[in-house]
């Protein structure tokens, strides 16, 4: 079965490196190039999107993710519409509650009602509608564009909101087929409750991925990624019947900054969570050599035949990751 592949971590502040990496990813067979919006680390996400569009030919580009806390919905709608005008039909907007972008400046992630309102406002503005923002008059975007708005989440309530209100979802829920199917069912339930056809909506499965021939490094990074899921959504661990074996996560995060998935010192983070069993780590990420990652993905596809889009987020980003995917992963699904 043909899979459409996406990847992210194009957060290079060096323009030449950004351009080269985007071109290499497209040549490797990636269909979607996703860009984080973390203002202290990644520059301006919309500028990065435009740069990618201008130096690739086919791949779609999108945000993974913006949030409604650091950017007002009207600002987000205007920015993504402007980017789409340079390459109509190749742009997507991924939105979520926010993590490092909000937490590192002392703010809190968006609540469910805030997310739902933001998605409705952005989609409305992009569709040319007038939207109430408590101003003297309703707001309207002068140059609306038909840009899909998708929600990235691993929580059941947010996934139902995505099914009911957005153009699709990115399931950020780990690499265990049971978890992924559960998240997909929640998304579909939200769509059906709203009278929408879930099969007409975009769905991508987001998979943290460690590709390396160094087995010890793969194991260490896999444990850190599993810890990241416990940090942000420990109900996923509970759903799999897993117990947290390390020191209290709040104590660990006094030393690991800013969080597990974005740790500045991955070696320190790995030492702090070395007690996580490898069997648990493998349920939250793809890990190992390129051939082993391909085999893990093949098993997922055989269990989840509805999967059409996957996003591989590299824990070890760079040219080696893109080359490994081009050589030993993507061709197996084409």
107 pLDDT band, cuts 50/70/90, is: confident
Question: What tokens does 249 get?
Answer: 């996560």
Contact yes or no for 237/229 (Cβ under 8 A): yes
Q: Is the pLDDT of residue 202 over 70?
A: yes
How far is CA 303 from its chain centroid? 22
Share of the chain above pLDDT 90, in %: 89
Domains plus CATH for the chain?
Answer: 4-212+290-333 (3.20.20.30), 214-288 (no CATH)
The stretch 127-141 carries a mean pLDDT of 90
Between residues 100 and 332, the one the model is more confident about: 332
Q: Is the pLDDT of residue 137 over 90?
A: no
Contact yes or no for 112/158 (Cβ under 8 A): yes
pLDDT computed for residue 1 by the predictor = 65
The stretch 84-111 carries a mean pLDDT of 90
Find the length of the chain. 334
The predicted model scores a pTM of 0.95
Q: Is the pLDDT of residue 216 over 70?
A: yes
pLDDT computed for residue 99 by the predictor = 81
Q: What are phi and psi of 32, to 5 degrees?
A: -130, 130
pLDDT computed for residue 110 by the predictor = 85
pLDDT computed for residue 103 by the predictor = 77
pLDDT computed for residue 11 by the predictor = 66
pLDDT in tens, 143-189: 999 999 999 999 999 999 999 999 999 999 999 999 999 999 999 99
For residue 129, what are the contacts with CB-CB under 8 A and spacing of at least 6?
140
Q: Measured between alpha carbons, how far is residue 254 from residues 247, 251, 262 in Å?
A: 12, 5, 14
**C-beta atoms surrounding 48 within 10 Å:** 25
pLDDT in tens, 45-89: 999 999 999 999 999 999 999 999 999 999 999 999 999 999 999
pLDDT computed for residue 104 by the predictor = 79
Q: Is the pLDDT of residue 302 over 70?
A: yes
pLDDT computed for residue 278 by the predictor = 97
What is the distance between the alpha carbons of residues 221 and 266, in angstroms, rounded to a whole number?
A: 7
Share of the chain above pLDDT 70, in %: 99
pLDDT computed for residue 10 by the predictor = 75
The stretch 14-32 carries a mean pLDDT of 95
pLDDT in tens, 244-291: 999 999 999 999 999 999 999 999 999 999 999 999 999 999 999 999
pLDDT computed for residue 9 by the predictor = 82
**Mean of per-residue pLDDT scores for the chain:** 95
Question: What tokens does 140 get?
Answer: 């309207």
């Amino acid at each position: 079965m043909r899979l459409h592949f996406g990847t992210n971590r194009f957060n290079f502040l060096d323009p030449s490196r950004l351009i080269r990496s985007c071109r290499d990813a497209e040549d490797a067979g990636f269909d979607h190039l996703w860009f984080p919006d973390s203002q202290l680390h990644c520059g301006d996400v919309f500028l990065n999107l435009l740069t990618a569009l201008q130096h690739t030919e086919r791949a779609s580009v999108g945000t993974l993710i913006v949030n409604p806390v650091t950017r007002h919905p009207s600002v987000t709608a205007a920015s993504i519409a402007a980017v789409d005008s340079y390459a109509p039909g190749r742009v997507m907007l991924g939105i979520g509650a926010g993590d490092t972008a909000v937490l590192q400046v002392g703010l809190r992630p968006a609540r469910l009602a805030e997310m739902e309102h933001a998605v409705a406002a952005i989609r409305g503005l992009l569709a040319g509608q007038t939207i109430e923002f408590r101003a003297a008059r309703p707001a309207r975007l002068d140059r609306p564009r038909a840009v899909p708005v998708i929600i990235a989440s691993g929580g059941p309530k947010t996934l139902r909101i995505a099914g009911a209100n957005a153009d699709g979802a990115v399931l950020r829920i780990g690499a265990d087929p049971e978890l992924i199917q559960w998240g997909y069912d929640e998304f579909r339930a939200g769509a059906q409750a709203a009278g929408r056809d879930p099969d007409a909506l975009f769905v991508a499965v987001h998979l943290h991925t460690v590709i390396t021939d160094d087995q010890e490094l793969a194991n260490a990074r896999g444990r850190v990624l599993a810890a990241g899921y416990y940090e942000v959504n420990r109900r996923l661990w509970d759903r799999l019947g897993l117990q947290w074996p390390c020191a209290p996560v709040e104590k660990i995060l006094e030393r690991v900054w800013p969080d597990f998935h974005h740790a500045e010192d991955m070696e320190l983070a790995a030492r702090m969570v070395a007690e996580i069993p490898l069997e648990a780590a493998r349920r939250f990420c793809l890990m190992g050599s390129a051939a082993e990652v391909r085999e893990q993905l093949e098993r997922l596809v055989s269990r989840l035949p509805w999967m059409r889009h996957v996003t591989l987020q590299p824990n070890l980003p760079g040219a080696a990751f893109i080359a490994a995917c081009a050589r030993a992963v993507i061709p197996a699904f084409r």
